[in-house]
Amino acid sequence: MAAETRNDAFVAFERVQKSYDGVTLVVKDLNLSIGKGEFLTMLGPSGSGKTTCLMMLAGFETATNGEIRLDGQPINQVPPHKRGIGMVFQNYALFPHMTVGENLAFPLEVRGMGKSDRDDKVKRALDMVQMFSFINRRPAQLSGGQQQRIALARALVFDPKLVLMDEPLGALDKQLREHMQFEIKHLHERLGITVVYVTHDQGEALTMSDRVAVFNDGRIQQLATPSDLYERPENSFVAQFIGENNKLPGTIEELSGDKALVRLQTGELIDATPVNVKQKGAATLVSIRPERVEFKPEMMPPGAHMIDAEVLEIIYMGDILRAVLRVAGSDEFVMKMRNTLGQTKLVPGQKIKVGWHPQDARALDP
C-alpha cells in the first residue's frame, strides 16, 4: 500500500482502525500523512471507509485503535469544537432562523470574539466567496449554490488550521458543481489552507486535488497525484475505478520486467505494461483508455497495435463522439473521438481497424 506517515506531517493517521460492532473493521490499519497546505481527497465507493476517516479526524467518530495527530499533537481525546477544524457538509447545515451574517458570526461568538472583530471576519469571509451583498438574507432565500458558498465561508471564517469537506457539491447540478470545483480549488490556492475532501466522484477528485487516496474495503489502494492515478494505476481496482477503461481478457505469454506479451481470447498477440501480474500463463485483463484508441492510420502513434473492429453504435455527446465497437470478442469496446470539423463519419456495421500505443495497454491482475 502506498500510504505512509512522516514525522513532518500536518495531519497523520497511524495504524488507525475503526469498528462499529467490535468485529468488522470499516477502516483497517490506516497510515496516512497529509502535508501543511495540501489538498488531499479521499475517494472511493460507498462503504469504502473514506467518510469514517473524515469523521474520526473531525472528532465525530472515535478511532477503535491507532492515533490521529494534528500539527504534531494527538487529538483522539480532543472534542470536536476544540480541534480548530472547519467543516463543510453536503446538506450545508446552515441555521434556517439566522441570517447569512449571523450564521457566520456564530462560530466566532462561541469562541468569545468581540463584535467589531466578528464583523470584520464575517465581511472578509463573505468577500472571499463573493457573497457579502447577501449578508442579511436567510438560507431559505438563497439557491443551493449560494447556500454552499455560505457554508464554505462559515468553515473559513475563524481561520481554521484545517478544513474538512464531506461531499460538499453532491446536491448541486452538474454545471454549478463544476464551477464550484474551480472556486474551491482557487480559494485553497489563494489561502494556502490544508483541505481534506471526501467524494465518490472521480472527476471531482482529479480536478481539485494535490493527491488522491483511493479507498476500497477500508484500505487505501493507492495514494498518488491525479495524473499518476490515471496514467499509472497500481492495481485493477484503481484502474477500473478511475476513469473509463476498455477491458480485454487474455493470458500472459511472456513476461520481462515492465513488458508483457498477452494473447487475447481471440488469439491476437499484443504488448502491454504488466501491473500486479507475476508469471507467464497467468490470466489478465488488458486495460486501454477509450481516448487512447485511434482508427485513422495517419493518427496512429509509432509502434501502434492494429486490430480488427466492427462499429456497433455511435453516440453523439456534444464535444465527443463515442463509438461502441466489437474488438477481440468484446462488444463493449469504446473509442472516444473529438467532435471536430471534418471528423470521419463512422456508421454501425462498418469494419475498421483500431490501434493504440503499447504503453497505453496495461495487463492487470484479473
| CA 271/CA 305 separation, integer angstroms | 8
Q: At what angle do helices 100-109 and 144-156 cross, to 10 degrees?
A: 20
Q: How high is the pLDDT of residue 40?
A: 97
Taken in order of first residue, the domains within the chain and their CATH numbers are 11-238 (3.40.50.300), 244-364 (2.40.50.140)
Residues 6+ apart with CB under 8 A from 362: 233, 239, 272, 273, 274, 275, 286, 287, 288
Beta strands in 111-168 (DSSP E): 162-166
Please answer whether residues 95 and 138 qualify as being in contact, where contact means their C-beta atoms are separated by less than 8 angstroms.
no
Q: How high is the pLDDT of residue 111?
A: 86
User: Residue 130 phi/psi, 5° resolution?
Assistant: 50, 45
| CA 182/CA 209 separation, integer angstroms | 11
Cell triple for 351: 469494419
AA identity, residue 92: Y
| CA 122/CA 104 separation, integer angstroms | 6
Q: How far is CA 253 from CA 51, 128, 266, 281, 287, in A?
A: 42, 58, 14, 6, 16
Q: How high is the pLDDT of residue 335?
A: 96
| CA 158/CA 138 separation, integer angstroms | 21
Rounded to an integer, what is the distance from CA 242 to the centroid of its chain?
8
The DSSP result for 238-298, as a single string, is HHHHSS--EEEEEEEEEEETTEEEEEETTS-EEEEEEES--STT-EEEEEE-GGG-B--GG
Q: What is the pLDDT along the chain (366 residues), one digit of tens a residue?
A: 445 555 578 999 999 999 999 889 999 999 999 999 999 999 999 989 999 999 999 999 999 999 999 999 999 999 998 898 999 987 778 899 999 999 999 989 888 889 899 999 999 999 988 899 999 999 999 988 899 889 999 998 988 889 999 998 887 888 888 888 998 999 899 889 999 999 999 999 999 999 999 999 999 999 999 999 998 888 888 988 998 899 999 999 999 888 999 999 999 999 999 988 888 989 999 999 999 999 987 777 777 888 999 999 999 998 899 999 999 989 999 999 988 877 778 999 999 999 998 889 999 987
Please answer whether residues 75 and 69 qualify as being in contact, where contact means their C-beta atoms are separated by less than 8 angstroms.
yes
Query: Could you tell me which of 214, 241, 243 has the C-alpha nearest to residue 42?
Result: 214
Q: How high is the pLDDT of residue 2?
A: 43
Task: Enter the pTM of the model.
Answer: 0.87
AA identity, residue 109: E
Please answer whether residues 17 and 9 qualify as being in contact, where contact means their C-beta atoms are separated by less than 8 angstroms.
no
Q: Strand 361-364 vs strand 211-216: parallel, antiparallel, or unpaired? A: unpaired
Please answer whether residues 148 and 169 qualify as being in contact, where contact means their C-beta atoms are separated by less than 8 angstroms.
yes
User: Residue 273 phi/psi, 5° resolution?
Assistant: -90, 120
| CA 1/CA 29 separation, integer angstroms | 11
